[in-house]
């Protein structure tokens, strides 16, 4: 470690022991990165540090998840000069970019809160932009965990068709995974059967696992 008090953009620095994160009040002593910005007059004792790849990969998952939920940038921190000391670099900027990409994929749904954490666990390892792969994972997960039949209610306005918002139905099984309407279920109402998008339904019994499963899927579908 060097002990020069002068900092420049690009310098590798580490947080001194005892330093706390201002957003989460956790110890970040030893966390390391590079100075990306020295703040202008008005707040001259503060810099922005971009965390290095080692720190990013060691960062607690809950910090990244809550940062996503609160709209905070977990790869950066604003920190005072007095809380930093110069350090030897231990990676490259390419390493940082790769770490951010990997963690961003892992936490792609964390901004949705508790539902997002569960959704992230279901869709772990899948490219967030590969919608068909995501749908296939949902289909596999729901076939495995939903208990059929179950009672549900049409939760979304229907522009046309025999079923309308508020109608009670019995969901019998998953019929298909479609690249346009997503997961289609077979349901019954008044002894008639229909094919209907699962994302427009809400399970009736909030005390059963089906309720959370269907809700999480609907939240994902609305925010994909």
CATH number at residue 180: 2.30.30.530
Residues 24 and 58 in one domain: yes
Number of structural domains (the chain) is 2
pLDDT digits 0-9 by tens, 32-45: 999 999 886 555 58
Same domain, 87 and 173: no
What range does the domain containing 48 cover? 12-107
Q: Is residue 136 part of a domain?
A: yes
Give the whole-angstrom CA distance, residue 202 versus residue 192: 19
Number of Cβ within 10 Å of residue 27's Cβ equals: 12
Give the model's pLDDT for residue 127.
87
CA distances from 10 to 2, 49, 178 (A): 15, 9, 49
Specify the pLDDT at position 41: 55
Top pLDDT among 2 and 186 is at 186
Residue-averaged pLDDT of the chain: 92
Residue 52 — very low, low, confident or very high, per pLDDT cuts 50/70/90? very high
- Do 94 and 141 fall into the same domain? no
If one counts every other C-beta atom within 10 angstroms of the C-beta of residue 8, the result is: 9
122 band by pLDDT with thresholds 50, 70 and 90:
very high
Q: How far apart are CA 63 and CA 20, in angstroms?
A: 13
* Residue 116 maps to a domain: no
Look at residue 121 and tell me if it is in a domain.
Answer: no
User: Concatenated DSSP letters for 76-94?
Assistant: EEEEEGGGEEE----S-HH
Q: Per-residue pLDDT for 102 more than 50?
A: yes
Residues 161 and 87 in one domain: no
Query: Which of 72, 107, 142 is at the close of a domain?
Result: 107
Q: Do 103 and 46 belong together in one domain?
A: yes
pLDDT band at residue 4, thresholds of 50, 70 and 90? Answer: very low
- Yes or no: say if 28 and 19 are a contact pair by the CB < 8 Å rule: yes
Measured torsion, CA atoms of residues 211, 189, 155, 140, in degrees rounded to the nearest 10: 50
- The whole-model pTM stands at 0.75
Q: Is residue 112 part of a domain?
A: no
pLDDT at position 94 over 90? yes
pLDDT given at position 16: 97
- Is 117 a domain residue? no
Asked whether residue 62 carries a pLDDT value surpassing 80, the answer given is yes
Q: Are residues 142 and 103 in the same domain?
A: no
**Same domain for 146 and 218?**
yes
Residues 89, 18, single domain; the answer is yes
3 pLDDT exceeds 80? no
User: Does some domain include residue 115?
Assistant: no
Domain boundary among the residues 107, 139, 169 is at 107
CA angle (106 as vertex; 69, 97 as ends), nearest 5: 100
pLDDT in tens, 157-190: 888 889 999 999 999 999 999 877 689 999 999 9
Residue 61 lies in a domain: yes
């Amino acid at each position: 470690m060097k002990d020069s008090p002068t900092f420049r953009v690009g310098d590798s620095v580490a947080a001194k022991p005892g330093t706390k994160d201002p957003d989460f009040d956790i110890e970040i002593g030893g966390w390391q990165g590079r100075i990306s910005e020295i703040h202008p007059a008005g707040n001259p004792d503060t810099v922005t540090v971009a965390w290095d790849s080692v720190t990013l990969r060691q960062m607690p998952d809950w910090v990244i998840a809550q940062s996503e939920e609160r709209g905070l940038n977990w790869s950066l921190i604003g920190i005072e000069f007095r809380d930093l000391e110069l350090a030897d670099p231990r990676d490259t900027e390419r390493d940082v970019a790769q770490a951010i990409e990997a963690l961003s994929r892992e936490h792609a749904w964390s901004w949705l809160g508790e539902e997002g954490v569960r959704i992230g666990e279901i869709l772990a390892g899948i490219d967030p932009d590969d919608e068909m792969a995501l749908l296939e994972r949902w289909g596999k997960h729901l076939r495995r965990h939903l208990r059929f039949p179950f009672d549900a209610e049409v939760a979304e306005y229907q522009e046309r068709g025999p079923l309308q918002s508020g109608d009670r139905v019995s969901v019998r099984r998953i019929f298909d995974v479609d690249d346009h309407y997503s997961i289609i279920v077979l349901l019954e109402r008044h002894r008639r059967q229909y094919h209907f998008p699962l994302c427009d339904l809400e399970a009736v019994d909030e005390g059963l696992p089906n309720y959370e499963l269907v809700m999480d899927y609907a939240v994902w579908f609305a925010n994909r």
